Amino acid sequence: MLSSRIGAGDFPSAVYLVGENGKAIFADALGDAVREPEKHHTTFETIYDLASLTKPLITGLLCAQMIQSGELALDDTIAKYLPEFDRADKRKITVRHLVTHTSGLPAWRPLYLVTNNSREKVLSTIAAEPLEYKTGEHVTYSDLGFITLGFLLQKLSGQTVDALAQRHIFVPLNLLHTFFNPTIATRTGVAACETGNAYERDMCERDFAGSGYRGWRTETIWGEVHDGNAYFLGGVAGHAGLFSTATETFRIANQFIGHQTQLLTPETCELFRQNMTEGLNEARTFAWQLAATRDSTAGPGLPGDAFGHTGFTGTSCWIDAERQRIFLLLTNRTHAHALPFSNINGIRREFHNLAIAALDRS
C-alpha cells in the first residue's frame, strides 16, 4: 500500500514500524529520503523531522515526569510560573488546558513576524493574543499552547527543552540518533523536507501582511527543522524540532505504556488514556488525541482509548496501551512536492487497518 502511494506521488519515502509488547514486529523503509538537491535512498536508519510529534514525545513526557515528581501539578495555573499570563483573560489557564488544547489560545501565529523577529518578545506576544474561545470550553489544537509549555519547562528547570530532553529522555533510553538541531555531519542521513517555506509564506502573505518579510528560506530544508516558528526559536521549541529514527521513536513511544515504561510509573501512564475533554469537540488526553475523536487518523480498528498524534511533515504515532501496540509511520510528504501537499490521513487509517490485521494473524 505504501509503495503504491509513493508511486502516486503522495510522499517520496516512508519508514514504518509496528510493535507489540515492546518489540518491533513489522518494519520496513521505502522510497527516497532525499530527491533534491541530490538523491539518497531511505533506510531504516533514516532520521526524520518528527514535527508536532515533539509535543507528546518530548514536551508531554517531560511535563508528565514533572507532575510525577511533584514539581508541577496538572491544575497549576500558568500564571503561577509565567507572569506574562497574569492577565484577566489568562489567569485561569492551567497546565491541563495547555496539554489538552483547551486554553482558548489560537492555533498558530507567525511569531517571527508578529514579534518583529525578536525571540525575547515571544512569550509576552503569545500571552497578549486574544483567546478564540473561553478557556476549557473548546478544543483548538494550538502550537502556541505547547510553545508556552516549553517556556514553562525552562522556567521550572532553568534548562532549555533540548537539555532537559537529553538529561531525562535521550540519555536514560540510550538514544543516539534522536536530537534537536542535527549537525551538518548527520545531514545526509536525514530525510529532506520542503523547498523553502512556501506553505507558511503563503499563509503569512495572505493573512498576516508578511509580504515584506525577508527571512524566508528558499533552499531545500534538509537537516534543519521545517517548522518556521521552531526555526525562529533556534530549532528548539515545545511544539516542534525533534528529529529521530523509527527505532528510537518507538523506544520513546513505549514510555507511555504502563507495562513498558522506564521513565514513568504505570499510574502516571494512565493519564494518557483518560478523556480529559469529555463533551467537547475532540476527545483529548494528556498531550495526545484519543481515537474516540470523530475522524481521527486512528481508523476504526483502534479502540477509543488508543492515543496518537501526527506531524505536519508526514509523521504519525498511535499507541494502543491496552494491547501494548505501537504504530509508527514516518514520511516526508512536504519534500519534492508542489503545493498543495497530499492529505495523507486516509493513508494513515489504512496503514493502521492493515497493521492491526497483520498483528492479529501473527
In tens, the pLDDT along 88-110 reads: 999 999 999 999 999 999 999 99
- Band (pLDDT 50/70/90 cuts) for residue 362 is confident
Q: Assess whether pLDDT exceeds 90 at residue 184.
A: no
Helix (H) or strand (E) holding 32: strand 23-34
User: Cα(316)–Cα(311) distance, rounded to whole angstroms?
Assistant: 6
Mean pLDDT (the chain) is: 97
Q: What single-letter amino acid sits at 233?
A: L
* CA 30/CA 42 separation, integer angstroms: 6
Q: Which domains does the chain have, with CATH numbers?
A: 2-192+224-361 (3.40.710.10)
Distance, CA of 181 to CA of 185 (rounded, Å): 11
Q: Residue 133's beta-bridge partner residues?
A: none
pLDDT of residue 28: 98
- Region 189-213: mean pLDDT is 89
CB 353 within 8 Å of CB 1 = no
In the beta sheet, which residues pair with residue 311?
315
CA nearest 208: which of 101, 340, 339, 108? 108
Write the CA distances from 347 to 10, 54, 195, 297, 342, integer angstroms.
Answer: 9, 21, 23, 9, 10
pLDDT at 44 over 90: yes
SS3 at position 75: coil
**What whole-number distance in Å separates Cα of residue 65 and Cα of residue 153?**
11
pLDDT in tens, 137-146: 999 999 999 9
pLDDT of residue 210 exceeding 90, the answer is no
Q: What is the pLDDT of residue 143?
A: 98
Q: Are 144 and 109 in contact (CB under 8 A)?
A: yes
Residues 216-248 pLDDT 10s? 999 999 999 999 999 999 999 999 999 999 999
> Who's near 157: CB < 8 A, 6+ residues apart?
164
Lowest mean pLDDT among 82-86, 178-182, 214-218, 340-344: 214-218
In this model, does residue 213 exceed pLDDT 90? no
Closest CA to 31 of 1, 8, 51, 11: 11
CB atoms within 10 A of CB 309: 23
How much of the chain exceeds pLDDT 90, in percent?
94
Does residue 65 have a pLDDT over 80? Answer: yes
Question: Please, which pLDDT band fits residue 214 given cuts at 50, 70 and 90?
Answer: confident
3-state class of 166 per DSSP? helix
User: pLDDT (tens digit, 9 = 90+) per residue, 6-43?
Assistant: 999 999 999 999 999 999 999 999 999 999 999 999 99
Q: With 80 as the cut, is the pLDDT of residue 211 above it? A: no
- Distance in angstroms (rounded) separating the CA atoms of residues 160 and 153: 8
| CA–CA dist 185, 202 (Å, integer) | 32
Whether the predicted pLDDT of 209 surpasses 90: no
